[in-house]
Chains A and B, each alone.
Chain A
Amino acid sequence: RRPRLHHVYLVVFQVGCQIADRVYDIPRTFPLALDLGGGKSHIAEHLTKDVVQRLVLTETSLQTLKVNRPSEIRTQQVLADEEFLPFQENSFDLVLSSLTLHWTNDLPGALKQIQQVLKPDGVFIGAMLGGDTLYELRCSLQLAETEREGGFSPHVSPFTSVTDLGQLLGQAGFSLLTVDIDEVKIHYPGIMEVMMDLQGMAESNCSWNRKSLLHRDTILAAAAVYKEMYGSDDGEVPASFQIFYMIGWKPHESQPKPLKRGSATVSLGDLSQIKNQDQS
């Protein structure tokens, strides 16, 4: 029995691939890596055993964990929750997480635990859905519900903003942070197709919840608003996915640090003179 492939899987596959790219960007071999939510991350299939020698893969669902995933990397599967990692401190060289952290209830706690299980000079590479994800759906529903019912309740999960994320990573004890943002738009015939696509993935990835609380009139109204506000000339509507890629390092004395204030020996004001010296 083959599951129906949802268009949002395009985002999942692409993000998994992008995380693998970022692993390759670091010129190191990682003896031991941890993939949180690795049952659905689609990262390991792009990695070779030259880059990651051993992999531990966690999932919160036993069913997902048991799926056979052929890989050249020696892999161990562990049933675990991101908020309660059953690993010792300072044990992993690399921690990966693709599109799972926005589901955790305690994001600061999960990030702190990731930092703890990393070895000094270990690195965390992750991807999360950002605040603008599905804004078209969120806004259409909000407006329709306000006009039809006089108020609205959230149907799209709240996502973290990039400033909050930077702050959370810093508070968790990561250094040398980078966060970069990518945007993907998937086009659908209408709001109903957007919701159908997300619904099937609710338990694994996306943001759609509490559909049962939507009245039929509100859906009709939202369909009209979505089309009017965001629809293109060919009649299709876009659904946006904003992805934050984050890289954070566990501090180690080998890492570059900013110099002490007052230790400068050259001034920026002398920049023009430095250039002249090179030319002579």
Chain B
Amino acid sequence: MSGSNVWSRSREKMRLFSELFAQCADEAAVYGKCVAATTTSKQELKKDLCAKEFQALKTCFTNAAKRRAK
């Protein structure tokens, strides 16, 4: 598609996501492990079970976005 439109802008945002996500690999792994653990243990996955880990990931992600915007 030629020119900038909704489609190419949202694809650009999605590409940016991957770039930012890559900078938070450690936080992502910690959150991922927290959630994944419930699939092998008796502990049921409930809302906010891994809220602390997610906040760390989100903070890292938001900071990466801020750094990129500069």
Measuring CB to CB, which residues of chain A are less than 8 angstroms from any residue of chain B?
A: 1, 143-144, 146-150, 189-190, 192-193, 195-196, 217, 219-221, 223-229
Contact = CB atoms under 8 A, between A and B. Distances in A.
Interface of B: 1-2, 11, 14-15, 17-18, 21, 27-29, 31-33, 35-36, 38-39, 45-50, 54, 57-58, 61
Contact of A147 (B2, B27, B48, B58): B48
B28 A227 contact: yes
Contacts of B57: 220-221, 224
Given A196-B11, A224-B28, A146 B45 contact: yes
Main secondary structure, interface of A, reads helix
Given A193-B18, A217-B58, A220-B58, 6 more contacts: A146-B45, A146-B46, A148-B54, A150-B46, A192-B17, A195-B14
A144 B49 CA distance: 11
Main secondary structure, interface of B, reads helix
A225 B35 contact: yes
Nearest to A149: B47
B35 to A, nearest CB: 5
29 contacts: A1-B2, A143-B35, A143-B36, A143-B45, A147-B35, A147-B46, A147-B54, A148-B48, A148-B54, A150-B47, A189-B18, A190-B18, A192-B14, A217-B54, A217-B58, A220-B21, A220-B58, A221-B35, A223-B17, A223-B28, A224-B29, A225-B31, A225-B32, A225-B35, A226-B32, A227-B29, A228-B32, A229-B32, A229-B36
A192 B12 CA distance: 11
Nearest to B37: A228
A102 B31 CA distance: 34
Contacts of B58: 217, 220
Contacts of B18: 189-190, 192-193
Task: In the A-B complex, list the 4 residue pairs whose CB atoms are closest, starting with the nearest.
Answer: A228-B32, A150-B47, A224-B28, A224-B32
Nearest to B7: A200
B41 to A, nearest CB: 13
Contacts of B28: 223-224, 227-228
A224 B17 CA distance: 12
Contacts of A195: 14
A152 to B, nearest CB: 10
Contacts of B45: 143, 146-147
